[in-house]
Amino acid sequence: MSELGVRTLDWVDGAILMVDQTQLPASVEMLRITTVPDLVSAIQRLSVRGAPAIGVAGAFGVVLAAQTEGVGTEAFDAAVESIRLTRPTAVNLAKMVERVVAVSAGGTDAILAEAFAVRNEELVASVKMGDAGADLVAEITGKPDSLRALTICNTGGLASVERGTALAVIQTLHERGCLEEAIALETRPLLQGARLTAWELKRMGAPFRLIVDSAGPHLISQGLADVILTGADRIAVNGDTANKIGTYSLALAARHSGVPFVVVAPESTIDMGTAVGGDIEIENRGNDEVVCFGGTTTAPEGTRTINPAFDVTPSELITAIVTDTRVVRLDRGEMLDTVRR
């Protein structure tokens, strides 16, 4: 189970039960989602976020569509499509929706069973990524203990039901007694690092400090981090990786300073249909997140913005990609399409 004592997202009594991440850290509130429009709204407003988590949410969303619209109807198809298209960058959402729809000829029971399989695979994946990532970090840094890991956005149980991706590695290091400190970027504009990652680190009892986004590259250059650990929303065949905006600048700083840069994501985040990072659609989330915060206007009225939610880190800046089935050492010339799972 997660640090909450319950999974951050699950199917309970015929509905999706999820932590409302927009309310953290002030309060822990659970949402009970019973309709597809409510699920789409929850994904859009980031009540649930993180590539693996929205993949699981999308899988259970197909179950909701089957329950409310009936399998095989035009209304079912329309509901499923509305889920699939809710957020374009993270491949897990569309991939898991399509996977569950593929068994819809078997009816609602088959759909629910496949959605549970998606959830269960992500639970296992988080443990495997934590173990493999912790082993790799000890190897490439030459530090079996007293490790300092810097991370961006939120990649813990909130983003993947339990434990997480990059934060699962940090949790495993902490549990092994190897973590000196985690350094979390606040992650503008919605502060997922400050609101969510710091909350999860505090609950797991891990030593950590929080920094503003723009301090990350400077602190890397000053030797404050032994490794950079990030998640991913989509990984192209050549290893280019889309992740939260600000990740690319960390990778540049890491390369300049000789610090390993490691991406941690389940196999489900690798998109073999996307050749290179330039083919990844980057979600632009509009003005409000930039000109307002917490209901307070922070810029003059009428200010226009550019608000990409993600950026793409080129594969040549990535030391390794850790998944639940393999470690691909891009720094050694290994490639995703040639290294066995």
38, 77, 226, 233: the active-site residue: 233
* Residue whose tokens read 């949410």: 57
Q: Which of 139, 310, 341 is nearest to 231 (CA)?
A: 310
311 catalytic? Reply is no
Q: How many H helices and E strands in the chain?
A: 12, 15
CA angle in degrees (0–180, nearest 5) for 239-241-245: 165
CB atoms within 10 A of CB 79: 23
DSSP code of residue 31: E
For 234, phi and psi rounded to 5 degrees? -160, 135
* Exposure string for 208-236, b = 16+ CB within 10 A, e = fewer: bebbebeebbebbeeebbbbbbbbbbbbb
Q: Which residues pair with 208 in a beta bridge?
A: 182
- List, by residue number, the catalytic residues: 233
